[in-house]
Amino acid sequence: MTKFLNNNLIYNEIMKEKRYPKGHFIGLGIAIGVPLGIAIGLILGNIAFGPAIGASIGLPIGAVLENIKNPNPRSLTKKEQQIRKKILIITMVLGIVVLSATYFFLR
């Protein structure tokens, strides 16, 4: 029960402060930009450039939002750092698999 209360108190403290972890809005900008980039890639007739275009559009938008809405970011907790590491590793592995599959199937 005390673990639940401690987590709830930490959650309430974070929500009261309205502080987000460092890089929150940059990730949000990229996550919004990539689907928009895919749509742009479809319109241009080359879907392969879509995610790159979207990420390059979303990154500066996220950086601006980060500076405006999160001027004093809170540091990441150990659990958040572990989650980000796992997501990064999974994304890299999936990217390599997709790139390899695309290379071998389109050869």
Looking at this protein, which amino acid is placed at residue 32? Answer: I
Task: Sketch the domain layout of the chain as residue ranges.
Answer: 1-74, 76-107
Segment holding 44, helix H or strand E? helix 24-44
Mean pLDDT of 69-83: 89
List pLDDT tens digits, range 14-30.
556 577 888 889 989 99
| Rounded CA separation 68/73 (Å) | 11
Confidence of residue 4 (pLDDT cuts 50, 70, 90): low
Q: Is pLDDT of 85 > 90? A: yes
List pLDDT tens digits, range 14-72.
556 577 888 889 989 999 999 999 899 889 888 778 888 999 999 999 999 999 988 88
Tokens of 59: 């990154």
> Among residues 87, 84, 44, 98, which one has the least CA distance to residue 36?
44
Helix, strand, coil percentages, rounded to 5, for the chain: 85, 0, 15
More confident site: 96 or 2: 96
In contact, 29 and 65? CB cutoff 8 Å: yes
DSSP structural state of residue 72? S
The alpha carbon of residue 44 and the mean position of all alpha carbons in its chain are separated, in whole angstroms, by 25
